[in-house]
Amino acid sequence: MATLEQAIVSTLSWFDILGQPLTAFECWYYLWDEDGSGGEATPQDVWRALDQLKARGAVVVERGFWQLTATRSYVPERLARARWSIKKFRRAQAAARLLARVPFVRLVASVNTLAMEGARQESDIDLFIVVRAGRLYLTRLFVTAVVHLLGRRRHGQRVTDRLCLSFYVSDDQLNLKPLAYVDDPYLSFWLVSMLPLTGLATFNRFLAANSWVEHSLPHRLAVGAAPDLAPTTSWCARAAEWLLGGAVGTWLEAVARWGQVRRIKKHSASRLGDGTTAVVVTDSVLKFHETDQRPVLAGRFRARQHQALASLNSA
């Protein structure tokens, strides 16, 4: 039980730096288990361990939310963010139903803070999009055009409730391990919190391709076989995929790639070639996170984890 308690404290340490308390079930689902100490734990085991940690003064509970002791209460903010997230998630669902009918789109998922009910009132709506291999740049062009024409795309100072289209991968490059840093808890939690909005069959393939995350987060979502979510049923989309699936589509893909890469390289904040995976531009991955906080968050997490575990061991 001591090792399970340590895993729970490590989990709460990560969410402490994000200012987000967790329910008991979330403590189990997001259990950070680097040392293999809690992988077999049930939600009931975690609940009992939380009670023991509370008795030792390591954690506190307020209105059903758990967090580390000696930090201010994040519960009011968590509840407010949950309310803000409801409206944003509905917008994400509506966008996914539309984007599912764009040619070559295979998966649309909600990611980042919104996927964990942690969106701020001013936050945008981050989407992760998987497209058919060989049509990455052409599909990005279609998606951007549709979202922009509808007035929903994030750009410039227009952020709140806008769609952030900053991460695309092709369906032959579903494993995101090559994008991870040496110490990258953010990417692991990002993967585990992802919520599919359309393309469940592709999402199941995505889960299988990223099974490496189970080393640290063994309780991640396992969807299994189920009917697809918002499948591409539009005859226009099917016809477009047929027309653009051959030589014409290959030529248009090359033109779209040339234009987009040229524009990206001109962008002053592109960070291409800086040795990180903040911005990635390849034939199978397009990722644009110029302000990549993953190394900073990893450092803050390790410091908070060390402090919390030292306090637990001395209690």
21-61 tens-digit pLDDT: 999 999 999 999 887 766 788 999 999 999 999 999 999 99
How far is 245 from 215, CA to CA, in rounded Å? Answer: 38
* For the chain, percent of residues with pLDDT exceeding 70: 91
How far is 146 from 102, CA to CA, in rounded Å? Answer: 9
Average pLDDT value for the chain: 89
pLDDT range class, residue 270, cuts 50, 70, 90: low
- 240: pLDDT strictly greater than 80: yes
E strand residue ranges, the chain: 59-62, 65-68, 105-110, 125-131, 163-170, 195-198, 279-281, 285-288
Q: Which of 67, 74, 116, 114 is nearest to 92 (CA)?
A: 114
CA atoms within 13 A on the CB side of 311: 17
* pTM across the whole model: 0.91
Residue range 2-76+296-314 in CATH 1.10.10: yes
How far is 102 from 240, CA to CA, in rounded Å? Answer: 9
What are the structural domain ranges in the chain?
A: 2-76+296-314, 85-292
Token readout for 287 is 């990722």
Q: Which amino acid is at 183?
A: D
pLDDT tens-digit map of 287-308: 998 788 999 999 999 999 999 9
pLDDT range class, residue 242, cuts 50, 70, 90: confident
Q: Which long-range contacts (CB under 8 A, 24 or more apart) does 312-315 make?
A: 312/5, 312/6, 312/9, 312/53, 312/56, 312/58, 315/56, 315/57, 315/58
Neighbours of 120 (CB within 10 A): 15
